[in-house]
C-alpha cells in the first residue's frame, strides 16, 4: 500500500507570448491548477490541469474548490489503486474531468515510481516511435495567419494546425492564403472548434479537399453529434471528434454512430490517463486513429500526455505545442522539444516532471 497522507493544490498562472485565439474566444494567459500528492512511505506525485471554460465548463477557481473535496475523499487511500480512486472521485461529484485529471496524473506518477518504471512503460508503452508535434496558427485575418504559418515553417515544424470556425468563406480564404505562403508540401490540420453548421462544414471541407489537410477537428457543435456522420460521409477530409469525445462513454457512442474516423484525446476532457486508455482501446478495436492533444497545460501535464502517446500504434498524431507559447517554463524535468517538433519523453521512473517551487504560491493543503 502507498497510502495518501496529504495533498496540496496550487494555482498556476503564466502569461502567453501572444493571444491564443479560436472560434470560442481568445486567451492571453494560462490559468491552471497543480496537484501534489504525497504518500506515507515518502513518494510524491505531480499532476496538472488547465480548465478550459468554454469546453469543459471549469475554471481555475472551480478546480481549486472541487479539488479540496476530492482531496479529502482520497486521503488514506492507496495512490496506486487508480480504478478505485476514479470510482471514489466519480461517486463524489459528476463531471469536473479537468480537476480529476490532475489527481489522476499525480497518482499515475506515484504508481509508476512504485513500480520502478517510466510512466510510458507502466502504461504498457515503448519508445519504438518518434513523437512529433504540430504547431498551431491562431484564428485571425488571412494575412496574419499566412505570415504565422510561414514563421512556423521557417522554425522547422513538419505539420501545422490551423484554427478556423470564423465563417465558411473566410475560412476557405484563410487556408488558400496559407497555402500560397508556404506551398503545398507541409501538411495542415484544421480545427473549427464547433464553428460551422453541418451544411457549412460540408461546403468548407469539399472546397479544401485538395489542400493536403490531414483531418478536421470538431467541425460542428458538439451537441449536434448525431449530424457528424453526415458530415463525415460528405467530406473528402477525415473527421476527428474533439469536444464531442470527452471520455470513453462518448467514444463508444461515436463509434456506434459511425460518426468519425479519428478521436482527439485530451486528459483534461477524459479525466486523466485511466479513461484515456479506455478510449484508445476502443479506437484500436474499431480501427480508428487517435491524436493526443490538450489545452494550455505546462510541460508537466504534457509530459503525461506524451507518455500516453507511446502506448499504442493508433496514436498517429500529436498536438502538444502550447508550452512553447508560454512566457516562462515552470517545469523541472519533463518532455523535451527537439528540432522539427520532435518530443523526447523522460525515462526515469514515474512521470519524470515536477513544478519549480518558485511558481507555487497560495497552497491549499489537505491532510
Please list the active-site residues: 163, 191, 217, 242, 266
Q: Of 20, 21, 24, nearest to 221 (Cα)? A: 24
Q: Which distant-in-sequence residues (6+ apart) come within 8 Å of 141 by Cβ?
A: none
Residue 351 CB coordination number (10 Å): 29
DSSP string, 270-330: HTSHHHHHHHHHHHHHHT-EEEEE-SS--HHHHHHHHHHHTT-TTEEEE---GGGGBSS--
Q: Using CA atoms, how far apart are residues 163 and 171, in angstroms rounded to an integer?
A: 9
Q: Using CA atoms, how far apart are residues 93 and 70, in angstroms rounded to an integer?
A: 8
Q: Do the Cβ atoms of 164 and 189 come closer than 8 Å?
A: no
Amino acid at each position: 500500500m502507498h497510502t495518501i497522507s496529504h495533498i496540496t493544490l496550487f494555482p498556476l498562472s503564466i502569461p502567453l507570448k501572444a493571444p491564443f485565439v479560436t472560434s470560442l474566444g481568445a486567451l492571453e494567459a494560462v490559468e491552471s491548477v497543480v496537484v501534489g500528492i504525497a504518500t506515507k512511505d515518502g513518494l510524491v506525485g505531480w499532476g496538472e490541469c488547465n480548465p478550459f471554460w468554454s469546453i469543459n465548463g471549469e475554471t481555475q477557481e472551480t478546480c481549486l474548490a472541487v479539488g479540496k473535496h476530492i482531496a479529502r475523499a482520497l486521503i488514506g487511500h492507496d495512490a496506486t489503486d487508480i480504478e478505485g480512486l476514479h470510482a471514489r472521485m466519480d461517486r463524489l461529484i459528476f463531471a469536473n474531468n479537468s480537476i480529476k485529471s490532475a489527481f489522476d496524473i499525480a497518482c499515475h506518477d506515484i504508481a509508476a515510481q512504485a513500480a520502478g518504471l517510466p510512466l510510458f512503460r507502466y502504461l504498457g508503452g515503448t519508445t519504438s516511435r518518434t513523437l512529433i508535434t504540430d504547431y498551431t496558427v491562431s484564428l485571425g485575418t488571412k494575412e496574419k495567419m499566412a505570415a504565422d504559418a510561414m514563421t512556423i515553417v521557417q522554425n522547422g515544424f513538419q505539420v501545422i494546425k490551423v484554427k478556423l470556425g470564423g465563417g465558411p468563406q473566410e475560412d476557405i480564404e484563410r487556408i488558400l492564403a496559407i497555402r500560397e505562403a508556404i506551398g503545398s508540401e507541409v501538411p495542415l490540420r484544421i480545427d473549427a472548434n464547433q464553428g460551422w453548421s453541418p451544411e457549412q462544414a460540408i461546403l468548407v471541407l469539399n472546397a479544401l479537399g485538395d489542400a493536403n489537410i490531414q483531418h478536421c477537428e470538431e467541425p460542428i457543435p458538439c451537441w449536434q453529434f448525431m449530424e457528424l456522420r453526415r458530415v463525415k460521409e460528405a467530406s473528402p477530409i477525415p473527421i476527428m471528434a474533439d469536444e464531442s469525445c470527452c471520455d470513453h462513454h462518448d467514444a463508444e457512442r461515436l463509434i456506434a454512430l459511425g460518426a468519425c474516423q479519428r478521436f482527439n484525446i485530451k486528459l483534461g476532457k477524459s479525466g486523466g490517463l485511466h479513461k484515456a486508455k479506455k478510449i484508445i482501446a476502443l479506437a484500436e478495436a474499431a480501427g480508428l486513429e487517435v491524436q493526443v492533444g490538450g489545452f494550455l497545460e505546462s510541460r508537466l501535464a504534457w509530459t503525461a500526455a506524451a507518455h500516453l502517446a507511446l502506448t499504442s500504434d493508433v496514436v498517429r498524431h500529436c498536438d502538444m505545442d502550447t508550452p512553447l507559447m508560454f512566457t516562462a517554463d515552470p517545469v523541472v524535468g519533463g518532455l523535451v522539444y527537439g528540432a522539427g517538433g520532435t518530443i523526447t519523453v523522460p525515462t526515469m521512473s514515474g512521470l519524470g516532471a515536477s513544478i519549480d517551487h518558485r511558481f507555487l504560491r497560495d497552497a491549499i493543503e489537505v491532510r
